[in-house]
Structure formats: structure tokens, C-alpha cells
Amino acid sequence: MANAKTLPTMAVAEEPVINYPSPLKEFWLGFSHNKGAVAGLAFICLIVICALFAPWLAPYSPIEQFRDHLLTPPSWAQGGSSAFLLGTDEVGRDILSRLIHGARLSLLIGLSSVVMSLVPGILMGLLAAFFPRWIGQGIMRLMDIMMALPSLLLAVAIMAILGPGLINAMIAIAVVSLPAYVRLTRASAMTELNKDYVTASRVAGAGLFRLMLITVLPNCMAPLIVHATMSFSSAILEIAALGFLGMGVQPPTPEWGTMLASARDYIESAWWVVTLPGLTILLSVLAINLMGDGLRDALDPKLKRAA
Amino acid sequence: MFSFLLRRIGVLIPTFLGITLLTFTLIRLIPGDPIEVMVGERSLSPTLHAAAMKRLGLDQPIATQYMNYLGQLLHGNLGTSLKTQENVWVEFKTLFPATLELALAALAFATIVGLLAGIIAAIKRGSIFDHGVMTISLTGFSMPIFWWGLILIMLFSVLLGWTPVSGRLDLAFDVQPQTGFMLIDAWRAELADPSLNAGAFKDAVKHLILPAIVLGTIPLAVIARMTRSSMLEVLREDYVRTARAKGLSPARVIFVHTLRNALIPVLTVIGLQVGTLMGGAVLTETIFSWPGIGKWLIDAIGRRDYPVVQNGILLVASLVILTNFIVDILYGIANPRIRHAK
């Protein structure tokens, strides 16, 4: 460590003119170059604010039923009321309030399922890279099997066993997104393992865990972060799909997909009940994907052309 | 080529065994007593309970149970549905053509539109068209397709009245299922009895259009993006410059020299869409009340029909594995570098 501390000062002493931007600033320069990514980030910030301050931002409770105002159209439409900005649903609940509170659930489920698949995914991927023979083969075959099932079908199958509910939906989505993390970590760790700095660290006597987590892992993070963003967006889509099929979060909890489950009955009479929750899902997922593109450009220039 | 084939089959068999292990474990992971879960609210007398356990082989050691399950599978016995008492394989066989028809229509839509959009976007790189294609395809990629289905129904069926809301064919027509593909059956019925079934084919097409568009949306986005980037990659190659320099027409350079090489990765991506299509079929069939295996599985889960869930999933997974295997082989034929790689 002593060496590492003295080196930069020496470099600065020799070439005092060059001011490298801090890593964070360099990242931001790369990221903000992509206009779509910035727009995506802005929208995500909006959603996060909605989620954090939902009880204060939402005009009503998401489960309060206004029995006198069933299926009120949005305020700008004919017959709308300014009391319900985006209208009410079939039992008179304020749609805007439900959407704002729904942001909490979608973000919560997305975030926890990403963490729940990222951590075991990284560990299994590292194990598979460090022990390619038995453990590695075993892990990769298992992942192949999981990849053979269409992800929504696997999630549905898991929900069929566990039963519907919030926690179970998180688990199902985490399990479904596991294989991609394992494969990604293993692939990048295996490329890193052949490099000199890993050999040097090994020769210097670094233990297995130090090699895995401190030497190799940080250098595999860029594609993992990019993939985590993308799988965050597909987690939101999957939880909404499960909710739509009636297997996800159960009503009256305001989840965006669950809000659409009964919407089919109102196709002819109340367009706002059908349109608004789906539009919210689409915009959030789109925003996250745009942000993911920007992250990829900023973090991993090698991948830029592959897109 | 032969050893390549053998290697692939060598991977195929353990994967298939793994899937059977998965579907086998599935039913045993259900918390609580499987028999009680299956009969639902009604309670069973202990003797009936024991008889049911014996009938399903649940009273034997777990390894024996698995071997029995494999044995049954090898005999082609996929169990019977608890609801209809019908053989699971027979049910699958009758419903599968509906899903296949829908998936093929979706794939055709996605491939034709996706390839064209991707090619034009790559040729006119940086143009408004290019930006438009990229924006639309990212939107398509982010689309909750169950909502997309509802929106299209609202627009084209309810508002404009162009297409029917659900099902495969209007009840007014008398079409006997022969191939299971409604387009072909309706066509034949129309030829056989023009007075009764006039317009049956057109009606079948109308029923198919919206579900196919909905199911094809995500593959379309993926194919368009992949075609564009693959074309851009190939357009940079030296041999394309050579072809241009020696004075070939732009159309020849694009279609003969570039497209053929750019298509190889696109073909793999198209093959990989089979999984997406099968997953998407679950949602699309639910929205459009399309009587295929996606809706069948969801209904089975809803009424806890575990033999159907278990072996239906096994069948779908086998289908995906098999398609990926075929794509792999085709890819090996198309690209010798893959065939000879370790």
C-alpha cells in the first residue's frame, strides 16, 4: 500500500500540467453525451421522488374508495372532476394516487430482485470461473437448464408453487434473472484471470477470497452494472406481467400490473383505467433502458459498437 | 460436422434430464400436502388420502419416484389432467397448433418488418429514419405487451371496429379442425362449402392480425436493432469497399455482399426469440382468449391442475431446447468457424 501512495505524487511532480478529470466527472462526461440517457435519468429521478414521498405527494390514500365517483374520467376529459386529476377506477379509487404509490412497489420489487440475483449471481459466477472443472461445470449446466425455460414461464411456475404475493414475486423474478448474472460474471472473470496482474497478486500470496473479491471482481463490474440496469427494467416488466395474470401483488395493493388485471373489462367504457397504468410502466421501463444505454457508453466503451 | 453434432447432442441430453428434474421437483416443492392442495377446500378421509398418495406414487422414496417419472416419460405417458381427465399429451397436441400458428405469424411479422427497418436504418445511418427506427425499437423493447394488446384492442376493435376482440374464428362459420392451423382449415372449409363458409379465411386472418402484432413486437425490436448494428459492422469491411470500388451497383453491394454476411448473427437472434415467443404467448393468449398452450398453462395454474402444469412446462421447455439445438446446428452449417471451434 505504501507504494501505491507514493506513485501518484511522483507522477504529478513530473508532469504537473496534466489534470485528469476525476473518475466521476469522466463518467458524467461520457454519460451526459447521450441525450436520451439524461432524459431517462430525469424521469427515473421523478419516479424515485414519487416513491419516496408518496404519502405526501398523492392526493388521496391509494385504497380509499369514493363510492360516489366510480369511473370518473380524468379532469381534462368530458365529465371529469378536478378533484381526481387522472380519474378514478371501478371502485372509485383515485388513479393518480395509486400510480404514485405503485412507484414504490415497482421500484422496491425491481431493486430487491436485482440485489437478490446480483449477489448470488456474482458469487456463483466467480466460483464457476475459479473452479472451472467440477463446480464450474455443475453451475453452468444448471444455468443452461434455467435458460431453457422462457423467463416469464419460469416465473409463473415458481409463483404457482410459492403462491401469489409480494415477497414471492421478488423471489421468482430474482431466480429468473440469476443465469444472466452468473454467465456474465464467469465470462468476464475468466478473461481477467489470464491477466498478469492476477498472477502477480497470486504470486504475492493473495488468498482465494482476496483474489476473487478484491483483485478480480472490481474489474468485472462494468458489464455487470450495465446488465443490472437492464434487468431492473425487465424486473419491472415481469412483476407487472405477473400482476396482470393475477399471480403477483394482490389487490387492493396499488401495483401497476395488478391495476391492469381487471382493466380488460373497461376497454369499451373507461379508456383511462386501461391506458394510464400501462403508460406509466412503459415510460419507466423505457427511461431505465435509455439510462442503461448511457451507462454502457460511459462505463464500457468496448460494448458501444456491439449494441 | 459429425463430431460437432455429437458434441451438441452431448449437451442436449443432460439439459433435458435437468429439465425433467426441475419439473419433477416443482410439484414436490409445493408447501403442504400435495393431495390436499390438489383437492382444494374439500377434505379427504385418510383412506382416500392414502389411496391418492399411492395412485400418484407419492408414498415411495424420492429417488424411486424420480425413476418412475422418467420411466413414464419414456413411455410417452405425461399423466392426466385433474380437471378434464384427459391425457396431458392429447390436450397439448390439440392446443399446440393454435400457439404455433400465432407464433409463426408473429415471427413472420417481426422478421419481415424488423429486417427491412434494420437494413434501411443502417444504409441511411444518422438520418431521421434511422433515429426513428432506433427510438421505436427501444420503445418496443420496453413494451409491457399485455398492455400493448389492450391498447390495440381498444383502438382497432372497439373504436374502429376493424378486427374482432378475441378467439380464432367467428362462431357463424362451420370449420372442422383438421390441421389445427385455423388459416388452412378455414381456407379448406371455404373451398369445400363456399355458400356456408364464404369469408371464413378472411375472418381467420382478421382474428390473427392483432395477436401476431402484439406477440411480434419485442422480437421485432430485437431483430431491427440487431440487423442495423450487424449491417453497420459489415458495411465497414474491406470487401464491401472493394465491391463498391469495382463499380457494383449499390443494390448489389447491399443485398449480395453485405446482407448475406450480416444475416448470420441476425439468424441466431431470430432463433433465440423462440423463448420470448413462448413466454409472450402466455400473455398474448390470455388477452385475446386465444385457445393455445399459454392460456392452457395459466388456466391450469389457476385451478392447481399440477399434472398439466408440470408436464406442460416440460413440453414447452423441451420445445425451446430443441429449437435452440436446431438453430445451433444451422448456425454451425452457416458458419464453419463455429463448427470447428472448441
CATH dotted code for A42-53+101-258+274-306: 1.10.3720.10
Say whether A156 and B287 touch across the interface (CB within 8 A).
no
Q: Provide the total of helices (H) and of strands (E) in chain A, helices listed first.
A: 13, 0
Say whether A282 and B280 touch across the interface (CB within 8 A).
no
Q: What pLDDT is attached to residue B212?
A: 93
Residues of B in contact with A307 (CB under 8 A): 225, 229
Which DSSP string do the residues of B190-235 spell out, in sequence order?
HHH-TTTSTTHHHHHHHHHHHHHHHHHHHHHHHHHHHHHHHHHHHH
| Residues in contact with B167: Cβ distance below 8 Å, sequence separation at least 6, in sequence order | B207, B288, B289, B290, B291
CB contact at 8 A, A297 and A37: yes
Residues of chain B with pLDDT below 70 are 1, 30-34, 36-44, 335-342
Per-residue pLDDT at A164 exceeds 50: yes
What is the average pLDDT value for chain A, to the nearest integer?
Answer: 82
Residues of A in contact with B276 (CB under 8 A): 150
B282 in reach of chain A (CB within 8 A): yes
Per-residue pLDDT at A277 exceeds 70: yes
Q: What is the DSSP letter of A246?
A: T
Taking the CA of residue B46 and the nearest CA in chain A, the distance in Å comes to: 24
Closest CB to A150 among B141, B275, B309: B275
**How many angstroms separate the Cα of A106 from the Cα of each of A10, A164, A243, A292, A294?**
50, 16, 11, 18, 22
Domain boundaries, chain A: 42-53+101-258+274-306
**Smallest CA–CA distance from A244 into chain B, residue:** B146
Say whether A278 and B15 touch across the interface (CB within 8 A).
no
**Smallest CA–CA distance from A306 into chain B, residue:** B229
Say whether A307 and B301 touch across the interface (CB within 8 A).
no
The predicted-structure confidence for A195-231, as pLDDT tens digits, reads as follows 888 889 888 888 888 888 888 888 888 888 888 888 8
Say whether B22 and A145 touch across the interface (CB within 8 A).
yes
| Residues in contact with B202: Cβ distance below 8 Å, sequence separation at least 6, in sequence order | none
Closest CB to A148 among B280, B309, B317: B317
Residues of B in contact with A145 (CB under 8 A): 15, 18-19, 22
CA–CA dist B291, B294 (Å, integer): 8
For residue B87, the cross-strand partners are B80
pLDDT level of residue A281 (50, 70, 90 thresholds)? very high
Please report the ipTM that was assigned to this predicted complex: 0.82
B15 in reach of chain A (CB within 8 A): yes
pLDDT level of residue A1 (50, 70, 90 thresholds)? very low
What phi and psi values does residue A221 have, to the nearest 5 degrees? -70, -35
B289 in reach of chain A (CB within 8 A): no
Give contacts of B 147-186 with A, CB under 8 A. Answer: 147-148, 150-151, 153-154, 158
Say whether B143 and A306 touch across the interface (CB within 8 A).
no
Say whether A260 and B150 touch across the interface (CB within 8 A).
yes
B319 in reach of chain A (CB within 8 A): no
pLDDT level of residue A14 (50, 70, 90 thresholds)? low
Residue A5 or residue A55, greater confidence? A55
Lowest average pLDDT, out of A27-36, A53-62, B309-318, goes to: A27-36
Q: Which amino acid is at A155?
A: A
The pLDDT > 90 percentage for chain A reads 12
| Residues in contact with B338: Cβ distance below 8 Å, sequence separation at least 6, in sequence order | B331, B332
The predicted-structure confidence for A170-198, as pLDDT tens digits, reads as follows 888 998 899 989 988 998 888 888 888 88
Closest CB to A267 among B15, B144, B153: B153
**A to B CB pairs, distance under 8 Å:** 130
Q: What pLDDT is attached to residue A2?
A: 44
Q: What's chain B's Rg over C-alpha atoms?
A: 24
The pLDDT > 90 percentage for chain B reads 12
Q: Give the residue-averaged pLDDT of A104-131.
A: 90
Give contacts of B 45-64 with A, CB under 8 A. Answer: none
Q: What pLDDT is attached to residue A300?
A: 66
pTM beyond cutoff 0.80: yes
Say whether B144 and A285 touch across the interface (CB within 8 A).
yes
Taking the CA of residue A264 and the nearest CA in chain B, the distance in Å comes to: 7
Residues of B in contact with A285 (CB under 8 A): 142-144
Range with top average pLDDT, A231-235, A263-267, A270-274, B28-32: A231-235
The predicted-structure confidence for B208-258, as pLDDT tens digits, reads as follows 889 999 999 999 999 998 899 888 888 888 888 888 888 888 888 888 888
B225 in reach of chain A (CB within 8 A): yes
CB contact at 8 A, A177 and A117: yes
Say whether A281 and B144 touch across the interface (CB within 8 A).
yes
Say whether B324 and A307 touch across the interface (CB within 8 A).
no
Closest CB to B15 among A144, A289, A290: A144
Residues of A in contact with B15 (CB under 8 A): 141, 144-145, 148
Residues of A in contact with B283 (CB under 8 A): 152, 241, 244-245
Q: What is the DSSP letter of A264?
A: G
Mutation test of the interface with chain B: which of A162, A232, A244, choosing the one with the most B Cβ atoms within 10 A?
A244
Closest CB to B142 among A233, A244, A305: A233
B87: helix, strand or coil: strand
